[in-house]
Amino acid sequence: MKVIETVLPGVLIIEPKVFGDARGFFLESFQVERYRQAGIDLPFVQDNHSRSQRGVLRGLHFQRSRPQGKLVSVSRGAVYDVAVDIDPASPTCGQFVGVELSDDNHRQMWVPPGYAHGFCVLSEVADFQYKCTDLYFPADEGGLSWNDPDLNIPWPIAEPLLSEKDKHNPSLRTLLGREG
């Protein structure tokens, strides 16, 4: 597999080796030793799968006291996937990485614990999988505004379909108590 480092510490784009022929393809979506060598050395405790329609934007989400690392991929369709550094002590706080993940490119993104994460659906339908390093705790969940002008994320959709909760997520300045 090819491991691509990004501008954010620890955030990786992974391009698995795909073996294909007229019948279809085969790839390893996870192999503990190979991923450990790439720096992904936390145990995975929960796998999630979501299906969304074109224009849905989920995020930007994180857990406050029990942050999850996420190894994300798409098995059907295409998404624009984003990780945002929200650590106030980090020199890259407020910066993001965005990448297209699809069933054609087979890419994965590793989002270490402590980052906000979200995606928007580019295809008619997308099936999105993520392996998590901690369990999901609804009471611990936090959110960040998808359209925060300070982040200036170039989402490829102008008017996304959002959950009621995601419509009211705060800006990074508000989240970090740096308003004014």
Give the whole-angstrom CA distance, residue 63 versus residue 147. Answer: 19
Task: Say which residue the tokens 């108590």 belong to.
Answer: 177
Choose, from 35, 49, 61, 117, the residue flagged as catalytic: 61
Q: Is 136 a catalytic residue?
A: no
Strand bridging mode 125-132 / 46-53: antiparallel
Beta strands in 22-95, from DSSP E residues, in sequence order: 24-27, 46-53, 57-63, 70-76, 78-85
Q: Is 80 a catalytic residue?
A: no
Q: Is 117 exposed, middle or buried (0-12, 13-18, 19+ CB in 10 A)?
A: buried
Choose, from 35, 80, 115, 130, the residue flagged as catalytic: 130
Q: For residue 163, give every residue at least 6 positions away whose Cβ sits within 8 Å of its Cβ, in sequence order, or none.
A: 58
Q: For residue 77, give every residue at least 6 positions away whose Cβ sits within 8 Å of its Cβ, in sequence order, or none.
A: 102, 103, 121, 122, 123, 124, 125, 126, 127
Residues taking part in catalysis: 61, 130
